[in-house]
Structures are given as structure tokens and as C-alpha cells.
């Protein structure tokens, strides 16, 4: 970055149509896609996130970035955690989930597109991720722990799904006032969060 220059980082929030669209596959990793991935990584870092899907910055493409600190890796890591943690930040191109474990786990989730809203979500404890990485590698790996959780959350964004859609009837009333407040805030701010740095 040139000294003294400023960059504007934008995350689209709930209420914006782009978060409800099905994202398009990426036919080839062009310089534009690499630039988009770089911008997503910088945006994720500026907003202190651990994952970001392209629709969250207004691009309806099957592109996801993930950066989880290494100390978040839990004991007994799955093969996916063991292989992918050292490669952070990850850029996933056209990722999909091939299998979901029958075992479920509950964990609090948040989302840069739903600022200040946190609620428990029940999801499969482990999934088999099949994806291209921007490095050119193709991986098919079982992922659990926080990484498996993050993959499921981010891939939901590519299908137009946000975590509040998956909050159960017990927890939903707790976050409903916040969701309504977000709707009002979002309408006033064109469903955008903006940081200039």
C-alpha cells in the first residue's frame, strides 16, 4: 500500500439481496479472482473475522476465505484440520461439502453480515470438504472443530443462507429484537458496513 493512501472496506449486511442469492461457480482463477480473494482477506482481517464469503462483499461467486488462529485447533484434529491450519489464510474456489457426520454439535456463531448477533447453531460435528485452493491444489478432507464449523457457515453463504436461518426455536426469540434492529440499521445504511483504513 502506498504511504498515506486509504482503502475502503465494505461488508454487506442482512437485508441485502446479494446475501440471499445462489453464488455462481468460478470457471477459472484469473488475476481478477486473485485480486478479489486478496481484497476478501484484507476485509476479513479489518473486520476481525475468521471467514468471509464473496457474497458478503457483494460478489455472488463461489469464493471463500478462512483464517483461524493456529491455537484454535483442538486436540485430536481431523485430517483436514491437520493439513489446512498450517496453510492459513485459505482461499477456497468452488467448495462443496460431500458428507456430513451424523454426530451433531452446538456452538455459538456470529457473522460479519449480522454484526453483534450471536446464537448457538446445531450442525454436523464434521464434514468432508471438497475444494480447489487458490494455490492450485485440490483437496478432499474431513474437517471438524472450529474449522469444520466455519466451512459450513461460509458455504451456507454461497447458497444464500445465513446462520440466523439455522437458529432453533428456543434461541431465536433471544436474537429476534437484535435481528429487527439490524434490519432498521441496515435499511438506513444501505445494508453496508464500511471501514476506511
Instruction: Write out the catalytic residue numbers.
Output: 154
In angstroms, rounded to a whole number, what is the distance separating the alpha carbons of residues 59 and 24?
Answer: 9
- Residues of 18-32 as b/e, b for ≥16 C-beta within 10 angstroms? bbeeebeebeebeee
Query: Considering the complex, what minimum distance in angstroms separates the CB of residue 43 from Zn ion?
Result: 12
Closest residue to Zn ion using C-beta atoms: 111
- Residues of 1-14 as b/e, b for ≥16 C-beta within 10 angstroms? eeeeeeeebbbbbb
Give 66's Cβ-side CA count (13 Å radius).
24
Residue among 111 and 129 whose Cβ is closer to Zn ion: 111
In angstroms, rounded to a whole number, what is the distance separating the alpha carbons of residues 85 and 79?
Answer: 10
Residues that bind Zn ion (CB under 5 A): 111
Residue among 66 and 93 whose Cβ is closer to Zn ion: 66
Residue among 77 and 166 whose Cβ is closer to Zn ion: 166
Residue among 82 and 122 whose Cβ is closer to Zn ion: 122
Query: Considering the complex, what minimum distance in angstroms separates the CB of residue 153 from Zn ion?
Result: 6
| Residue 192 neighbours by CB distance under 10 Å | 12
Residue among 126 and 157 whose Cβ is closer to Zn ion: 157
In angstroms, rounded to a whole number, what is the distance separating the alpha carbons of residues 191 and 64?
Answer: 20
Closest CA to 111 of 119, 100, 99: 119
Query: Considering the complex, what minimum distance in angstroms separates the CB of residue 1 from Zn ion?
Result: 26
Query: Considering the complex, what minimum distance in angstroms separates the CB of residue 181 from Zn ion?
Result: 18
Query: Considering the complex, what minimum distance in angstroms separates the CB of residue 77 from Zn ion?
Result: 23
φ, ψ of residue 26 in degrees (nearest 5): -100, 115
Amino acid at each position: 500500500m502506498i504511504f498515506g493512501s486509504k482503502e475502503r472496506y465494505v461488508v454487506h449486511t442482512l437485508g441485502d439481496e446479494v446475501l440471499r442469492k445462489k453464488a455462481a461457480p468460478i470457471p477459472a482463477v484469473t488475476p481478477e479472482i486473485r485480486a478479489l480473494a486478496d481484497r476478501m482477506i484484507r476485509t476479513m482481517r479489518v473486520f476481525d473475522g475468521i471467514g468471509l464469503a464473496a457474497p458478503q462483499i457483494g460478489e455472488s461467486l463461489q469464493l471463500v476465505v478462512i483464517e483461524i488462529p493456529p491455537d484454535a485447533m483442538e486436540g485430536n484434529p481431523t485430517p483436514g484440520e491437520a493439513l489446512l491450519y498450517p496453510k492459513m489464510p485459505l482461499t477456497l474456489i468452488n467448495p462443496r461439502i460431500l458428507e456430513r457426520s451424523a454426530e451433531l454439535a452446538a456452538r455459538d456463531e456470529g457473522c460479519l453480515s449480522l454484526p453483534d448477533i450471536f446464537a448457538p447453531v446445531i450442525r454436523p460435528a464434521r464434514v468432508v470438504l471438497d475444494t480447489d485452493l487458490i494455490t492450485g491444489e485440490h483437496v478432499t478432507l474431513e474437517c471438524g472443530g472450529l474449522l469444520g464449523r466455519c466451512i459450513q457457515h461460509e458455504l451456507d453463504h454461497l447458497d444464500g443462507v445465513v446462520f440466523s436461518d439455522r437458529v432453533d426455536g428456543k434461541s431465536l426469540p433471544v436474537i429476534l429484537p437484535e435481528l429487527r434492529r439490524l434490519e432498521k440499521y441496515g435499511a438506513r445504511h444501505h445494508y453496508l458496513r464500511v471501514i476506511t483504513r
